[in-house]
Amino acid sequence: MMDVETLHPSLLSAEDVALWRSLAAGQAGFGSPLLGPDFTQAVGKVREDARVSVVRRDGVTLGFLPFHRRPGGLARPIGSPLSDYHGLAARPDAGLDLAQVLRAADVSVFRYTGLIDPHGVFPASPETDRTAYVIDLAGTTAEAYLEAIRAESPKKIKNYRRLDHKLGREVGTVRIVAGDVSRDAFNQLIDWKREQLERTGAHDFLRADWTRELMADLFAARDGDFCGLMINLYAGDTLVGGHFGVRQGDVYHPWIASTSPELAAWSPGQIFFLRAIAAMPELGLTRYDLGPGHDHYKRAYGLNTITIGEGAATASTIGGCMAYSMESVWSMAGAHGAGPVGRLRRRMDAIASTELTVTGRVRGFVEAMTSRAQRRGGDHPEA
DSSP 3-state of 277: helix
Distance CA 21, CA 41 (A): 12
Q: What is the pLDDT of residues 130-139, one digit of tens each?
A: 899 999 999 9
Each domain of the chain, given as residue ranges in start order, spans 2-131+307-336, 139-285
Distance CA 150, CA 289 (A): 20
Q: What is the pLDDT of residues 175-202, one digit of tens each?
A: 999 999 999 999 999 999 999 998 888 8
* CATH level 2 (architecture), domain 2-131+307-336: 3-Layer(aba) Sandwich (3.40)
Q: What is the pLDDT of residues 69-100, one digit of tens each?
A: 988 889 999 999 999 999 999 999 999 999 99
Q: What is the pLDDT of residues 247-262, one digit of tens each?
A: 999 999 999 999 999 9
Sign of CA dihedral 119, 123, 126, 128: negative
Q: CATH for 139-285, among 1.10.40, 3.40.630, 3.30.519, 3.40.720?
A: 3.40.630
The domains spanning 2-131+307-336 and 139-285 adopt the same CATH topology: yes
Distance CA 354, CA 333 (A): 24
Distance CA 159, CA 164 (A): 9
Who contacts 28 (Cβ-Cβ below 8 Å, separation ≥6)? 118
Is the peptide bond preceding residue 81 cis, with omega within 30 degrees of 0? yes
